Amino acid sequence: MPEASKKCNDADETLRALELLVDFFAHERSQRAVANSGRGRGKKRGAEKNGNTKKTDKGYEKLVADISELAKSLSGLYEQSCAMLKPIVDDACRNPGAYSENELEHLFDQMLNVSCSRKGKRLFDRLCKRFSPIYPDVVRFYIDTDKEMYGGWVQPCGGFALG
């Protein structure tokens, strides 16, 4: 379980870095739109004024490439985390009596880290279905938390959805 926790923490750190890059990208894009809003009026503004349009475009291309690379890395971490959690979920579903409420809560905490991916969501749903008759309050809490965190959004297979 510690290995799965480490992978989930790595995924969280990568996600935070990705969110920062997306925020930066959105801010730069809006600044660029403001700078370009004066086109056609005879005035040059922003990067165009300094002759830096090629440099700026390369900067955006690099930023998009960096975001894409982080997204791929994050998707890989989610896949690894799901692969590590799957045997634990399988065991829990086969032997529900072997898991105390605290152990189940710990497993659900780990599942929240990956439930934004399709594989993670399937594992999360399976765990919920198996344990809802045994610990209904715990399962309800984690379902509500999952909806609050991800709003029903699930990462498409093969990539991270932005926006």
Torsion 76-78-82-85 (CA) sign = positive
**Size of the chain, expressed as the number of residues it contains:** 163
Estimate to the nearest angstrom the gap between the alpha carbon of 28 and the chain centroid. 22
Higher per-residue confidence, 38 vs 71 = 71
Higher per-residue confidence, 1 vs 31 = 31
pLDDT in tens, 17-49: 666 666 666 666 667 666 666 555 545 455 445
- pLDDT interval class at 67 (50, 70, 90): confident
CB 140 within 8 A of CB 102: no
Q: Report phi then psi at 41, rounded to 5.
A: -105, 10
- Average the pLDDT over each of 64-68, 92-96, 137-141 and give the range with the smallest value: 64-68
Residue type, 123: L
Q: What's the burial of 3, exposed, middle or buried (CB within 10 Å: 0-12/13-18/19+)? A: exposed
pLDDT in tens, 106-142: 999 999 989 888 899 999 999 999 999 999 999 999 9
Mean pLDDT computed over every residue of the chain: 76
Q: What is the DSSP secondary-structure string of 50-118? A: HT-HHHHHHHHHHHHHHHHHHHHHHHHHHHHHHHHHHHHHHHHHH-GGG--HHHHHHHHHHHHHHTTBH
How far is it, in rounded angstroms, from Cα 24 to Cα 33? 14
How far is it, in rounded angstroms, from Cα 30 to Cα 148? 28
